[in-house]
Amino acid sequence: MSDETLDLRDVRGPSALGGGWRRTLELLYIIAVTEFKRSYFGTALGYLWSVARPLLLFGVLLAVFTHLVRFSSVPHYTVLLLLNIVLFGFFQEATGQATASVVNQESVVRKTQFPRLVIPLAVVLTSVFNLALNLLVAFVFILAFGVTPRWTWLLLAFLLLALFIYTTAIAMILSSLFPRFRDVGIIWAVVLSALFYATPVIYPLQLVHGTIGRLLAANPLAPLFELARRWVIDPRAPLSGGTLHIVVPAVIYVGVCALAVWIFNREAPRIAEEL
Amino acid sequence: MTEATPLIDERTSLHQRPIVIEVRDLAKSFRIPNHRINTFKERIAHPLTRQTYRELSALRAISFEVHRGEFFGVVGRNGSGKSTLLKILASIYRADRGRVRMAGRLAPFIELGVGFNAELTSRENVVLNGVLMGLSRQEARRRLDSVLEFAELREFADLKLKNYSSGMMVRLAFAVMVEADADIMLIDEVLAVGDAAFAQKCMDVFRARRAAGKTIVLVTHDMSTVQSFCDRAMLIHDGELRYLGDPEETALRYYRLNFGGHAGAAPGDVPDVNVRLIDAWLENPAGQRVDNVEQDEPIGFNVAFEARQDLRSPVFGFHFLTADGTHVFGFNETLALEDGEPNVLRAGQRARISGTIENRLLPGRYYVTAMISRNHHQGDLALHVLRLFDFVVYGTRPGPGSVSVQADIATTIENP
């Protein structure tokens, strides 16, 4: 008999990322794809809903803001509204769905070695599929409404990346707190609807003045929306000035991301015990 | 599945094989909230009451190792910590202390399942779990057919799991685990569910995998599996390792824990006014008291009663029953008397009924009842039916029913 010894690896228990990169990525892909399929399973329009939903919301808001309230000073307001709704819709959908995601995947979490981060991340990725479809439609409208294409459109990619990271961070926080505090789901639903109005989605930030304007500018989402407007729709759109308006949201942005990593790493090993 | 030729089958050479699981000084405890605070409202309503916890120590100072190709049993009563141990090995829980090291790919089968999502079809679940057990996506898809084949669920491949029966679910889960072809299989209680045919299939798989040099760690309550399959076994009780080694010995100690210190009915506990049970026990052929008997080994049977009143013409009746209450056999005994001796057991005298019984019982759980009648009258009971003790017949040759009988039968071919 041989005296060979095998390469023993430490088993450190569950973690945010564990079991190798290839496995993590493949799990991420599988879960995101199946979630995407599942969310439209059994509906008559299928994937079309993914596009139809923001368009319908767009229609409602358009009716309100072109007939009841008018922002005549904002060029291309119609398509700006559409673009903003698509972007905010992504943030809303991803964070909302992520909240209960770990609990929804209970059997996987309790019975297998599962890289915990994959679950909220897959939810965000599913929303990325939706976002991509929606952006295609939005750009069709943007061109149809007479906005001329510009090289700054390419810069949108950076904004999307920043939005993706921020969304993921919040998804991580919500999904890791939810198993312990189920109120998180309800609270976040309220916060989301508040954020819809507190973020320059249906109005440009330039129209809000005074203290409220400064408060709104602290929202890390605000500069993303402002920049998207400037780079995609209207190169002359004013940016709310002052370094303060960049520094404060940036600090909050980084703070949220750091908090997400800290909370998730702290909670990940114990999630199976909390379920 | 093809039966691979055994690469290694001598138990003696086990310790020379490389270690695949090494556990050192493992400890795990759970914090059980005395009053679970699950909402902010409760936090806000009681801001000053600190959440208090009870520390439940699930595992303490567990160390062991498992060698490659070993069939390793983990036994213990419910709540002993064995499932927690398995969950730590499977990276579902994190240990508080200690070190776990492992070599090779792992396929866990925990709480009667794998990571199934009830909303997905079995096709999707099989691929997902294949990847969870370390296969690539292509590889997992390639094995889809054989998984469905093994689970006998081919025609239900596109059915969502929530529409599956629990039996189908377990079959699918087991098939996924088997076909993942991992180096180490961690299995929690698979044999407790499913029908006999499925249990047989599991056994065939275990045999084939072990022959192919795979390592199997099995948590079970079924001692006959431990005795007939395991190379070594480990007994966990109250979170501590109580025994590690010979499966037979493990099973024996497990039974001792289950049936308490002494197997008999507690002497003096019997409220009957006529007779008091002094003691009741079984002996093995070596004359030692045992709680269990091995298949085919003669049963040494011993009971002692004390009469509290004079018993005229007493008849001592004993019945052997299976755990579910089916009578297997019984016998009656009267006092063995000298010439002219009156057939009376006087108050204060003791009667000892002892001897050897041929053991044709098949492996399983049994119990013995006693009954004493007097005055030559079956209906005049001095002692109503009393359960004396439970015991287990263990062995490697189970069969249908409860007893095996000698049969001189031959099957021949007859030409017309």
The answer to whether A6 faces chain B, any CB pair under 8 Å, is yes
pLDDT of B268 reads 37
More confidently predicted of B21 and B48: B21
Using CA atoms, how far apart are residues B257 and B238, in angstroms rounded to an integer?
A: 11
Mean pLDDT along residues A154-179: 94
Mean pLDDT along residues A243-259: 89
Residue in this structure with the two tokens 């799991």, named with its chain if needed = B161
Q: Three-class SS string for chain B?
A: CCCCCCCCCCHHHHHHCCEEEEEEEEEEEEEEECCCCCCHHHHHHCCCCCCCEEEEEEEEEEEEEEECCCEEEEECCCCCCHHHHHHHHCCCCCCCEEEEEECCCEEEEECCECCCCCCCEHHHHHHHHHHHCCCCHHHHHHCHHHHHHHHCCHHHCCCEHHHCCHHHHHHHHHHHHHHCCCCEEEEECCCCCCCHHHHHHHHHHHHHHHHCCCEEEEECCCHHHHHHHCCEEEEEECCEEEEEECHHHHHHHHHHHHCCCCCECCCCCCCCCCEEEEEEEEECCCCCEECEEECCCCEEEEEEEEECCCEECCEEEEEEEECCCCEEEEEEEECCCCCCCCCEECCCCEEEEEEEECCCECCEEEEEEEEEEECCEEEEEEEEEEEEEEEEEECCCCCCCCECCCCCCCCCCCCC
Distance of CA B137 to the CA centre of its chain: 37
Q: What are the two backbone dihedrals, phi and then psi, of residue B181, each rounded to the nearest 5 degrees? A: 55, 45
List pLDDT tens digits, range A200-209: 888 888 888 7
More confidently predicted of B250 and A169: A169
Over 60: is that where the pLDDT of B261 sits?
Answer: no
Using CA atoms, how far apart are residues B92 and B113, in angstroms rounded to an integer?
A: 14
Collect all residues of chain B within an 8 Å Cβ-Cβ radius of residue A6: 18-20, 68, 103-104
Using CA atoms, how far apart are residues A126 and A19, in angstroms rounded to an integer?
A: 22
Pull the structure tokens for residue B310. 């004079």
pLDDT of A270 reads 81
Alpha helices in A145-270, H assignment, sequence order: 156-177, 183-198, 210-217, 221-228, 244-267
pLDDT of B3 reads 41
Q: Any bridge partners for residue B391, and if so which?
A: B366
Mean pLDDT along residues B302-313: 88
Q: Residue B193: pLDDT band by 50, 70, 90 thresholds?
A: low
Collect all residues of chain B within an 8 Å Cβ-Cβ radius of residue A38: 119-120
Alpha helices in A178-243, H assignment, sequence order: 183-198, 210-217, 221-228
| Half-sphere CA count of B139, side-chain side, radius 13 A | 15
The reply to whether A6 falls in a domain is no
| Half-sphere CA count of B157, side-chain side, radius 13 A | 13
Residues of B numbered 115-154 whose beta carbons fall under 8 angstroms of chain A's beta carbons: which are they?
115-120, 124, 127-129, 131-134, 136-137
CA nearest A62: which of A81, A85, A43, A87? A81
The amino acid at residue B13 is S
Helix H or strand E segment including A9: strand A9-10
The answer to whether B103 faces chain A, any CB pair under 8 Å, is yes
pLDDT of B263 reads 39
Over 80: is that where the pLDDT of A216 sits?
Answer: yes
Residues of A numbered 240-259 whose beta carbons fall under 8 angstroms of chain B's beta carbons: which are they?
none
Collect all residues of chain B within an 8 Å Cβ-Cβ radius of residue A102: none
Over 80: is that where the pLDDT of A43 sits?
Answer: no
Over 70: is that where the pLDDT of A120 sits?
Answer: yes
The answer to whether B174 faces chain A, any CB pair under 8 Å, is no
Cα-based distances in Å from B239 to A69, B83, B217, B265, B401: 69, 10, 18, 28, 36
Check if the beta carbon of residue B27 is closer than 8 Å to that of residue B98.
yes
Over 60: is that where the pLDDT of A78 sits?
Answer: yes
Instruction: Check A180 against B38: CB less than 8 A apart.
Output: yes
Mean of pLDDT over chain A:
85
Range B11-258 has CATH code 3.40.50.970: no
The amino acid at residue B40 is F
Beta carbon pairs, A and B, within 8 Å = 129
pLDDT of B249 reads 84
Instruction: Check B124 against A5: CB less than 8 A apart.
Output: no
Cα dihedral sign, B126-B131-B134-B135: positive
Using CA atoms, how far apart are residues B142 and B136, in angstroms rounded to an integer?
A: 10
Using CA atoms, how far apart are residues B43 and B39, in angstroms rounded to an integer?
A: 7
The reply to whether A13 falls in a domain is no
Over 90: is that where the pLDDT of B9 sits?
Answer: no
pLDDT of B259 reads 60
Collect all residues of chain B within an 8 Å Cβ-Cβ radius of residue A182: 38-39
Distance of CA B53 to the CA centre of its chain: 33
Among the residue ranges A136-140, B225-229, B375-379, the one predicted with the least confidence is B375-379
Mean pLDDT along residues A95-123: 86
The answer to whether B108 faces chain A, any CB pair under 8 Å, is yes
Checking DSSP bridges between strand B19-33 and strand B97-102, what pairing results, if any?
antiparallel
More confidently predicted of B193 and A112: A112
The answer to whether A107 faces chain B, any CB pair under 8 Å, is yes
Using CA atoms, how far apart are residues A155 and B362, in angstroms rounded to an integer?
A: 78
The answer to whether B93 faces chain A, any CB pair under 8 Å, is yes
| Half-sphere CA count of B342, side-chain side, radius 13 A | 7
How far A39 CA lies from chain B's nearest CA (Å)?
Answer: 11
Q: Residue A91: pLDDT band by 50, 70, 90 thresholds?
A: very high
Q: Residue A79: pLDDT band by 50, 70, 90 thresholds?
A: confident
Using CA atoms, how far apart are residues B182 and A225, in angstroms rounded to an integer?
A: 49
Instruction: Check A107 against B113: CB less than 8 A apart.
Output: yes
| Domain regions of chain B by residue span | 11-258, 275-394
Instruction: Check A26 against B94: CB less than 8 A apart.
Output: no
Q: What are the two backbone dihedrals, phi and then psi, of residue B345, each rounded to the nearest 5 degrees? A: -105, 115
pLDDT of B12 reads 46
The answer to whether B58 faces chain A, any CB pair under 8 Å, is no
Using CA atoms, how far apart are residues B404 and B409, in angstroms rounded to an integer?
A: 14
Q: Residue B6: pLDDT band by 50, 70, 90 thresholds?
A: very low
Q: Residue A174: pLDDT band by 50, 70, 90 thresholds?
A: very high
Instruction: Check A107 against B118: CB less than 8 A apart.
Output: yes
Mean pLDDT along residues B218-225: 82
Distance of CA A140 to the CA centre of its chain: 22
Q: By percentage, how much of chain B surpasses pLDDT 70?
A: 86
List pLDDT tens digits, range B37-46: 566 666 666 6
Name the residue among A1, A14, A19 with its Cβ closest to that of B16: A1
Residue in this structure with the two tokens 């005074």, named with its chain if needed = A210
Q: Which CATH number fits domain B275-394: 3.30.1020.10, 1.20.1300.10, 2.70.50.60, 3.40.50.620?
A: 2.70.50.60
Burial string for A185-222 (b: 16+ CB within 10 Å, else e) reads: eeebeeeeeebeebbbbbbbbbebeeeeeeebbbbbbb
Instruction: Check B94 against A108: CB less than 8 A apart.
Output: no
Q: What are the two backbone dihedrals, phi and then psi, of residue B280, each rounded to the nearest 5 degrees? A: -150, 130
Residues of B numbered 364-393 whose beta carbons fall under 8 angstroms of chain A's beta carbons: which are they?
none
Other beta carbons less than 10 A from residue B8's beta carbon: 18
Gap between the terminal Cα atoms of chain B: 38
Q: What is the DSSP letter of A72?
A: T
Range with the largest mean pLDDT of A257-261, B127-131, B323-327, B394-398: A257-261
Check if the beta carbon of residue B137 is closer than 8 Å to that of residue B131.
yes
Q: What is the DSSP letter of A10?
A: E
Collect all residues of chain A within an 8 Å Cβ-Cβ radius of residue B132: 23, 27, 108, 112-114
Instruction: Check B132 against A112: CB less than 8 A apart.
Output: yes
Whole-prediction pTM value? 0.69
Instruction: Check A30 against B127: CB less than 8 A apart.
Output: yes
pLDDT of B48 reads 60
Mean pLDDT along residues A172-183: 90
Mean pLDDT along residues A21-26: 84
How far A192 CA lies from chain B's nearest CA (Å)?
Answer: 19
Range with the largest mean pLDDT of A158-167, B2-11, B143-152, B178-187: A158-167
Q: Residue A241: pLDDT band by 50, 70, 90 thresholds?
A: low
The answer to whether A18 faces chain B, any CB pair under 8 Å, is yes
pLDDT of A155 reads 92
Pull the structure tokens for residue A211. 């203290």
Mean pLDDT along residues B180-201: 78
Gap between the terminal Cα atoms of chain A: 46
Q: Residue B30: pLDDT band by 50, 70, 90 thresholds?
A: confident
Q: Residue B14: pLDDT band by 50, 70, 90 thresholds?
A: low
CA nearest A160: which of A208, A90, A213? A90
Mean pLDDT along residues B327-354: 87
pLDDT of B46 reads 66
Q: Tell me what ipTM this predicted complex has.
A: 0.76
Among the residue ranges A94-98, A141-145, A268-272, B400-404, the one predicted with the least confidence is A268-272
- Residue in A97, A110, A113 to test binding to B, most B beta-carbons within 10 Å: A113
Pull the structure tokens for residue A119. 């679950």
Using CA atoms, how far apart are residues A215 and A194, in angstroms rounded to an integer?
A: 14
The answer to whether B51 faces chain A, any CB pair under 8 Å, is no
User: Which residue segment(s) compose the domain that A71 sits in?
Assistant: 21-265
pLDDT of B5 reads 40
Q: What are the two backbone dihedrals, phi and then psi, of residue B33, each rounded to the nearest 5 degrees? A: -65, 135
The number of domains in chain A is 1
pLDDT of B375 reads 78
The reply to whether A5 falls in a domain is no
The reply to whether A180 falls in a domain is yes
Q: Residue A94: pLDDT band by 50, 70, 90 thresholds?
A: very high
Instruction: Check B132 against A273: CB less than 8 A apart.
Output: no
CA nearest B188: which of B170, B209, B210, B167? B170
Using CA atoms, how far apart are residues B9 and B69, in angstroms rounded to an integer?
A: 9
Collect all residues of chain B within an 8 Å Cβ-Cβ radius of residue A22: 136
Collect all residues of chain A within an 8 Å Cβ-Cβ radius of residue B119: 38
Over 80: is that where the pLDDT of A28 sits?
Answer: yes
Mean of pLDDT over chain B:
82
